[in-house]
Structure 1
Amino acid sequence: MSNKPQLEVAEYESVSLCHDQLTDDDVRRLNLLSNRRRGTLAETRTGWRFRPEATTGVLNLDRIRLVIRPKTAITGRSLIRWLCYALGTPVPHEATTRAWTVERDGFADVVASALLAECHTLLRDGLRRDYVRTEHVGPVLRGRLDAAAQATERFGMLDLLHMRTFDRKVDIWENQLCGHALRTAARTATDSNLAREIASVAEEFPVTGSSFGALRALDRSRYTHLNRRYQPAHVWSELLLSGGGVSDLLTDTGYDADSLLLDLPGLWESVVRRLSAESAPAQATIVPSSGRNGITVHGDLSTRPPFRPDVLVRLGGPEGNLMPIDAKYKTYNADPVSSPDVHQLLTYIAGHSPLTAPVAAILYPDPHRHTHRVLRVSGPGRHLGAIHVLGVHASADPAEATAWLRSALWREVTDAMFAH
């Protein structure tokens, strides 16, 4: 558990930092976030001013611990549920989520608690053992004689034999990854009781080698019936050791793994893609929004990227109509839809929707309830399009949100598309 002074700031708000609170390395790290459009660092007369953008979590700098709170009012229980939903991993047992909070530390304790719950389950069922090659020197031959070592190190002597054996041990990559992640979680957690419990459980897991080696083993691995039960614990371990969530923010940017930042727009896009796929009517498919389905611009002074909605759904079979959906991590429950977003959705409508039913949708997280309103855009004498603006209740269960989306959006959209 860190004993550095802690400062809190919300997304898209600013925090003032004195010159003596940041080292040169800290300034470099914050500038790296600025270069990736995840924050803004500006020098002032008394120090620095930092404004995080589209990022939440914990930044462990050299002298301070900076906690970035999400702008959307979301509980730890809701956050862990949507994280599990986006990552395709089971939600830990309800008893472990009862007291989770994001009020003090963004989401670091949430991920640490999820890892702890999974590691408790692994210990309860017994850690996996596998054959590990070990080199021994002893008086009795076990396994295979290491002829090269015997000839070079004990030539002509047979009182001790160099041998190679394969013994079943818990010191394998599946357990090593959890061990490294647990020790990182104990340093990251702000709650002292949680940190102590994690440290206690960490003693049961090996930490041979480095955390980077364990992550490389995870990249090369394939889950089978022998180690599939480790997959949820490895999801949380990877988040902790790589330092970011869903779309990683900290890889190769010079931060220690004690920092933990979540890309909330990336998380929301993953949630919306899965919600759209699971709520869409029968025979609907998610199709790529690039390639032959992309909206491109040619003839300008320089090339520009294509316009691509976050989700593109084809309704009614292989030759059916297209429905563009965009994920917006914005507070559209209290704010009107911005003009740039209206223009963006009208472009998607022009490029993808049929002329008889020009329609698109925006999905955003609503902290209070499910909401649905429709923006109808008209020009002189003609209808340009309808934009469904849907707020998905941030505290809803994903299954309940899927059912609501199926009723609120897809029933109306399919009726409009297939009425013509």
Structure 2
Amino acid sequence: MTSVVSLVEHAPARSFRLPDAVGRALAAEKILEEAWPDPYESGAWRLRAGSKVGAVALTVPAGEGVMVRITPKVPVARLLFLIGYSSDPRGWRDGSVALAEHSELLPALAHAVERQIDRALRQGLLQGYRTTEESSHVVRGRLREAQQIRRRFGISLPVEVTFDEFTTDIAENRLLSSAVDRLLRLPGVPGAVRARLMHQRSRLADITPLVPGQTPPGWRPTRLNARYLPALHLAEAVLRGSSTEHLPGGLRMDGFLFDMNGVYEDFVCKALREAMRTHGGRSALQAQDIHMDESDSIRLRPDFVWYGDSGMPVIVADAKYKARRNRGFPNEDLYQMLAYCTALGLPEGHLVYAKGNAPHTSHRVRHAGTVLHQHAIDLDQQPTELLAEIGALARNMLHGSAMSLQGGHPLGAP
């Protein structure tokens, strides 16, 4: 029998009766923000979810299984939009699917993946060239001379060869096949969706799946695989977020989790980059080679830096999903942004929060004059409205930076 523990992202802690092995695993694996034995009830654990959302099943040998479901605060359809847009800002909206029938994350994700794979495969499996290296009794392609000498010591057969084969067993199809297999192993996928996933697996039956733990094969967008793109991005999200582990004591953990901190950060930075494209310059995400000190020993990594046409930094921003204080924004974020502005020589910096604790506010730093802006983005709105809000934020950033850098005049004005 499997009991269900239902939690909500960043909600207050609740008490649940759990096997001690499961409670210890939840605490050790950092699945939840907090997990500790309830001091007032024997056999119970106090659990509080943090920024990770999804579903995890923990199974005790010959004992009770526990399913932990963590629901995001944003609607599931909006979360999948954030993930999809981060993967492919220009193509995701055209490949979205209706998710109204699924209110939980894992069923909705499984449904979205199955629908996108179905669309991708309507014209048949994509074919391409795959480079293969093998030992063969027939010479084909090119002889690998160094391997032949090292492995065969002058023996003529078999020969070490490499050749390009035109096949359906390519990286794109392997990713789709592995994502389907992964979803079929996860608990909580509805029966109707599972049946459709089984159908997709039959269409991909001749494709070599990835070995658990194997790094997914690389691929790049081309004209030929354009119809695969939405499915490929979702398949990669499935493979990144899922895991299967065997823990001490024979406990098995199988699940799928998204970290909302990373999802929000990726979305904001990609959306800002898209909004800045029409203004020239270039954007750097997780900017490199920025140091706080003159000896370059203290490295800084702002989430987003926009460089103007001159190559000089103009805008710096950091995305923060959730403020940690009950009221207002945390002061430590301001200290971090001040360090970014000082290192980059900028008069302004921007912290972009998910709407929650406080509205937009600004602070002028005493004796320095640096202005630190704190913005709040409302995620609970339609994708077009959400992107429009990011676009307006980008324009405000550009205008404010232009005014500061040009002594009160818009960039390029006399």
TM-score (ref. length: structure 1):
0.71
Residue aligned with 1:413, SS: helix
Question: By how many angstroms is 1:304 displaced?
Answer: 8.6
Quote the Cα distance in structure 2 between the aligned partners of 1:411 and 1:201: 50
Amino acid across the alignment from 2:360: R
Which residue pairs with 1:109 in the alignment? 107
Quote the Cα distance in structure 2 between the aligned partners of 1:288 and 1:172: 30
Which residue pairs with 2:30 in the alignment? 33
- Where does 1:127-146 land on structure 2 (aligned, <5 Å)? 127-129=125-127
User: Is 1:387 aligned with 2:381?
Assistant: no
Cα deviation digits, residues 97-140 of structure 1 (max 9, x gap): 25165x43xx322321221121111332122356999xxxxxxx
Quote the Cα distance in structure 2 between the aligned partners of 1:132 and 1:278: 33
Q: Residues 363 and 390 of structure 1 are in contact (CA less than 8 Å); yes or no, is this contact kept in structure 2? A: yes
Distance 1:344 1:83, change over 3 A: same
Which residue pairs with 2:273 in the alignment? 277
Amino acid across the alignment from 1:387: L
Aligned residue pairs, count: 362
Cα deviation digits, residues 226-271 of structure 1 (max 9, x gap): 4453343233223323435xxxxx5889697951110111112212
Cα deviation digits, residues 174-223 of structure 1 (max 9, x gap): 4344234224324444444333333343333216655327954x424555
Which residue pairs with 2:83 in the alignment? 83
Quote the Cα distance in structure 1 between the aligned partners of 2:195 and 2:350: 46
Distance 1:317 1:372, change over 3 A: farther
Residue aligned with 1:201, SS: helix
Q: Residues 374 and 386 of structure 1 are in contact (CA less than 8 Å); yes or no, is this contact kept in structure 2? A: no
User: Is 1:56 aligned with 2:41?
Assistant: no
Quote the Cα distance in structure 2 between the aligned partners of 1:314 and 1:224: 28
Residue aligned with 1:128, SS: coil
User: Is 1:336 aligned with 2:333?
Assistant: no
Supply the RMSD in Å over aligned alpha carbons: 4.1
Q: Residues 392 and 401 of structure 1 are in contact (CA less than 8 Å); yes or no, is this contact kept in structure 2? A: yes
- Where does 1:395-414 land on structure 2 (aligned, <5 Å)? 395=381, 396-397=383-384, 399-414=387-402
Distance 1:242 1:98, change over 3 A: closer
Quote the Cα distance in structure 1 between the aligned partners of 2:246 and 2:399: 45
Question: By how many angstroms is 1:361 displaced?
Answer: 0.5
Residue aligned with 1:387, SS: strand
Question: By how many angstroms is 1:413 displaced?
Answer: 2.8
Cα deviation digits, residues 145-198 of structure 1 (max 9, x gap): 99xxxxxxxxxxxxxxxxxxx998756654344234224324444444333333
Q: Residues 57 and 261 of structure 1 are in contact (CA less than 8 Å); yes or no, is this contact kept in structure 2? A: yes
Amino acid across the alignment from 1:66: V
Which residue pairs with 2:97 in the alignment? 96
Residue aligned with 1:41, SS: strand
Show structure 1 runs of 5+ residues with no match.
134-143, 147-165, 245-249
Which residue pairs with 2:353 in the alignment? 364
Match of 1:69 among 59, 68, 71: 71
Show structure 2 runs of 5+ residues with no match.
60-64, 132-137, 141-163, 409-414
Quote the Cα distance in structure 1 between the aligned partners of 2:222 and 2:388: 31
Quote the Cα distance in structure 1 between the aligned partners of 2:2 and 2:35: 21
Amino acid across the alignment from 2:66: I
TM-score (ref. length: structure 2):
0.72
Residue aligned with 1:121, SS: helix
User: Is 1:352 aligned with 2:341?
Assistant: no
Q: Residues 92 and 117 of structure 1 are in contact (CA less than 8 Å); yes or no, is this contact kept in structure 2? A: no
Q: Residues 11 and 55 of structure 1 are in contact (CA less than 8 Å); yes or no, is this contact kept in structure 2? A: yes
Q: Which moved more, 1:338-347 or 1:278-287?
A: 278-287
Which residue pairs with 1:137 in the alignment? none
Residue aligned with 1:317, SS: coil
Quote the Cα distance in structure 2 between the aligned partners of 1:388 and 1:91: 30
Which residue pairs with 1:181 in the alignment? 179
Which residue pairs with 2:291 in the alignment? 294
Which residue pairs with 1:323 in the alignment? 315
Residue aligned with 2:279, SS: coil
Amino acid across the alignment from 2:53: T
Amino acid across the alignment from 2:198: A
Q: Residues 292 and 298 of structure 2 are in contact (CA less than 8 Å); yes or no, is this contact kept in structure 1? A: no
Question: By how many angstroms is 1:344 displaced?
Answer: 2.1
Question: By how many angstroms is 1:327 displaced?
Answer: 0.6
Aligned sequence identity (%): 17
Cα deviation digits, residues 267-295 of structure 1 (max 9, x gap): 12212222232233724333477664221
Quote the Cα distance in structure 1 between the aligned partners of 2:373 and 2:235: 38
Distance 1:279 1:53, change over 3 A: same
Cα deviation digits, residues 331-353 of structure 1 (max 9, x gap): 59984112222222222233324
Cα deviation digits, residues 30-54 of structure 1 (max 9, x gap): 41226xxx63332345243333322
- Where does 1:373-384 land on structure 2 (aligned, <5 Å)? 373-379=360-366, 382=367, 384=369
Q: Residues 42 and 50 of structure 1 are in contact (CA less than 8 Å); yes or no, is this contact kept in structure 2? A: yes
Quote the Cα distance in structure 1 between the aligned partners of 2:190 and 2:313: 51
Q: Residues 180 and 211 of structure 1 are in contact (CA less than 8 Å); yes or no, is this contact kept in structure 2? A: yes
Quote the Cα distance in structure 2 between the aligned partners of 1:341 and 1:253: 38
Question: By how many angstroms is 1:94 displaced?
Answer: 7.2
